Amino acid sequence: MIYQALIPGYAEDQERENIGRTDNYLVPILRRIGATRLLDAGCGVGATVQRLVDHGFDAHGFDLMEQTPIWAAAGRPRDRFVVTDPLKLELPFADASFDCVFSFGVLEHVGTQDGHATRRADYHEIRTQWARELFRVTRPGGHLLLGGPNRRFPVDTAHALDAAAGPVERWLSAKVGVSIHRVWGDYFLWSYGDVRRYLADLPFTLEGLTVDGLANYSRIPWPFGALARGYVRHLPKRLLATGFNPWVMALVRKDA
């Protein structure tokens, strides 16, 4: 099994990209919802946690054991990071510990055999347990913010195809240069419907957010990157929690 954190350049890319995303996208959302105590679910090398601490937030994060040498090498405060099991999430925090728990680009890899796009047979069950554990440590009135490429949108600029992708998907993706995938059936990406499914019977309200200012479209061939930015920027609010949004960006309020 090869984890992303072991790929050359991964840590450097996270350090570089996450600062801008934190400042320009995440912090305004956190200010709007009044969150101060935060948990980064799948924090990678810890760049976002450190940036949030610099902004004055009480931020913490968790990830896999492989990240600990990177945290140490970067001088991250060890008491702000915890290690978790990749298959069963059990957080060492009391119920209602955080104002906001956020996770970007992580849920699609939960429940996979390789940390990428080869799904386990029980991947939905693993994701359900994972999402509910995040919900548990969120205070009533607080929020989950779950983001990742939308299974219901046919283009994914962030990943290779699902390991079980068919020949047509592979042919189209090779021609275009980004992943073109089916929007029905099983796939390693997830959707707004999956979020509702994983949190079924729990008290919550879901709002779809724009990803304008988050995605960089660096993998999209010119001139389609400019078209993608324009599409995201002008997508009507009523369509943000649907398959028209290239990313799921689910702001889930934990109701009392």
Q: Are 43 and 61 in contact (CB under 8 A)?
A: yes
- pTM given for the model: 0.92
* pLDDT given for residue 11 in this prediction: 62
Question: Do you find a cis peptide bond into 154, omega within 30 degrees of 0?
Answer: no
- The CATH homologous superfamily to which domain 4-254 belongs is Vaccinia Virus protein VP39 (3.40.50.150)
pLDDT of residue 182: 97
d(CA 5, CA 66): 7
SS3 86: coil
- Looking at residue 2, what is its pLDDT? 39
Residue 202 has a pLDDT of: 98
* Predicted pLDDT at 221: 67
Dihedral pair phi/psi, residue 20, rounded to 5°: -65, -40
Please state, in angstroms and as integers, the Cα–Cα distance from residue 194 to each residue in 124, 163, 225, following that order.
9, 20, 28
d(CA 112, CA 66): 17
What's the average pLDDT block by block, 10 residues per block, for the chain (256 residues)?
A: 49 74 96 98 94 97 92 91 92 98 96 93 97 98 98 94 97 93 96 98 98 77 79 96 97 96
Any idea where the domains of the chain sit in the sequence? 4-254
Q: Are 194 and 131 in contact (CB under 8 A)?
A: no
